[in-house]
Amino acid sequence: MIIPHAKPGSSTENLTGEWKAYMPVVTGDKCIKCGICQNFCPEGIMGEVKKIPEIDYEYCKGCSICANECPVKCIAMERVEED
Amino acid sequence: MLRTKEGARVIGEMAANCKPQVVACYPITPTTHLTEELNKYYTDGKIPEYITVEAEFSAISALIGASAAGSRTFTTTGGQGLLYMHEPLFSAAGMRLPIVMLVGNRAVSSPLNIWNDEQDSISQRDTGWIQIYCKNNQEAVDTIPQAFYVAEKILLPVMVCVDGHYLTHAVEQVDVADESVVAKFLPEYKYPLKLDPQNPVSLGVYANPTHYQIFRQDLVSDMEAAKELLIEAGKKWGELTGREYGLIREYKTKDAKRIIVGLGSVMDNVITVVDELRAQGEKVGALHLRVYRPFPHEELRKALAGKQIGVIDRDISIGGSAPVYVEVSEALSGTKGTKVSSFYGGLGGRGIKRNHIKEMFEKLKKGPVKEWIAKEAPKAAMSG
């Protein structure tokens, strides 16, 4: 018997990146650390501004906004292979 | 205590004896008198909270909140009112809230009709609610405390279905177990995970594809496990009152060659016909399908395998076969020599009379049929 419930703050335990079909991959040496991708990311999971983005794939939904906004096109969207 | 009262009112008395803490109702024919009765018990102080709401969607939603906050809850509706509850019915079951609801079975629009059939609750069969169909008011009254008993142990909501007008408005003598008997039977309700500001939780929120099905699997296996509890509740109630209940009720089926199966009040008519035909030497029987969800596959196989079966549906699946017939057939599939016929109709208050039932038994002699009960050509006045 399971009662479906969530305690406050449990969104940090529940991973939500599972549904993405494409994942952003950053080519570090092209990155100019402008911070645009980090500011545009709806999930806020691309790390700190003024650093090369560090993506938390456990929450990334694969929306492609970062790749679309990147002024130097250093983010590629790659197909996630399923089992 | 023996009462001679209208069905809806005597059910109200029993509901109050079960001490619900929160009741929320929106009155609708044929259970308006039950909402009145519950309101009277609230005014008298026996029911602590009665929420008057603006519609059935609100009634069930209010009870979802009250039940999640740890209260024993009760409501009633039927027909369009039940259909209007459709979406929150799924939520109540998914959140594992043991709400008990009395459904006064009524036809559905269109055309508008306030009389009896069972299209309303049959169309809610997949919502995750336990469904019990009563064939008379004694059964209805006895089933209410059993519904709370099972609901609160397995944490699933229960619909107790009684035929509108045929039962809700019938005045007959009924033995109503009083509060002290109910108190012996029904333990105090404690929801294991109630909404509480000291220990905050959200109930029934979002589950990912990785988790969602796990909850639904759990719901399905607990619904199956509810069978044992329903039998246990029926036995315990029998020990206290002398009236025992199970998932099905067989009437002269053991040596019967032809048996009619069905839900609700029509089965008392079938039993009368069984006696009449038995007096003429015909080996016939009746089987009242009391619990429709969870569906008692095993019990039906044991009782019906190898016989000529007629299933009465007072509900239809437009474009498909009659729902109860389909499931009885599935339960009996692979059994040797069994033939299952489907008789559907009796819709919108069209009575299923003894001569109709005699015709059904007659037809079972020949072989499987699928046909309307009391089919009639449209009258000239009905077409445009």
Contact residues, chain B, for A80 at CB < 8 Å = none
Nearest CA among B304, B305, B325, B335 for reference residue B371: B325
A18 touches chain B (CB under 8 A): yes
How far, in Å, are A20, A43, B102 from residue A82 at the CA level? Answer: 10, 23, 48
Same structural domain, B273 and B148: no
Q: What's the confidence (pLDDT) of residue B383?
A: 67
Q: Which among A2, A15, A16 has CB closest to B215?
A: A2
What are the pLDDT digits (tens) for B140-170?
999 999 999 999 999 999 999 999 999 999 9
Angle between helices B323-332 and B297-304 (to 10 degrees): 70
Confidence at A83, pLDDT banded by 50, 70, 90: confident
A50 touches chain B (CB under 8 A): no
Same structural domain, B135 and B186: yes
Q: Which of B194, B201, B216 to mutate to test the interface with A (most CBs of A within 10 A)?
A: B201
Confidence at B298, pLDDT banded by 50, 70, 90: very high
We report the CATH number of the domain holding residue B304 as 3.40.50.920
* Among chain B residues, CA nearest to A16: B208
Confidence at B74, pLDDT banded by 50, 70, 90: very high
Q: What's the confidence (pLDDT) of residue B191?
A: 84
Q: What is the mean pLDDT of residues B78-84?
A: 98
Distance CA B119, CA B323 (A): 10
Distance CA A46, CA A36 (A): 10
- CB-based contact A5 B193, cutoff 8 Å: yes
Contact residues, chain B, for A13 at CB < 8 Å = none
Distance CA B150, CA B143 (A): 10
Residue B86 has pLDDT above 90, yes or no: yes
Q: What domain count does chain B have?
A: 2
Residue B365 has pLDDT above 70, yes or no: yes
Q: Which of B191, B226, B241 is the last residue of a domain?
A: B241
What are the pLDDT digits (tens) for A60-72?
999 999 999 999 9
State which residues form the domain around B366.
248-382
B156 touches chain A (CB under 8 A): no
Residue B19 has pLDDT above 90, yes or no: yes
Q: What's the confidence (pLDDT) of residue B81?
A: 98
We report the CATH number of the domain holding residue B217 as 3.40.50.970
What radius of gyration do chain A's Cα atoms show?
Answer: 15
- CB-based contact B208 A16, cutoff 8 Å: yes
Same structural domain, B98 and B227: yes
Q: What's the confidence (pLDDT) of residue B384?
A: 62
Residue carrying structure tokens 């990147």: A70
Same structural domain, B70 and B30: yes
Query: What 8-state DSSP symbol labels residue B193?
Result: T
Q: What is the mean pLDDT of residues B334-343?
A: 97
The structural domains of chain A, ordered by start, are 16-79 (3.30.70.20)
ipTM of the complex: 0.78
Residue A11 has pLDDT above 80, yes or no: no
B95 min Cα distance to partner chain A (Å)? 6
What are the pLDDT digits (tens) for B272-288?
999 999 999 999 999 99
Which of A6-15, B187-196, B214-223: highest mean pLDDT?
B214-223
Same structural domain, B378 and B288: yes
Q: What is the mean pLDDT of residues B341-359?
A: 96
B208 min Cα distance to partner chain A (Å)? 7
Same structural domain, B254 and B217: no
Q: Which of B222, B241, B260 is the last residue of a domain?
A: B241
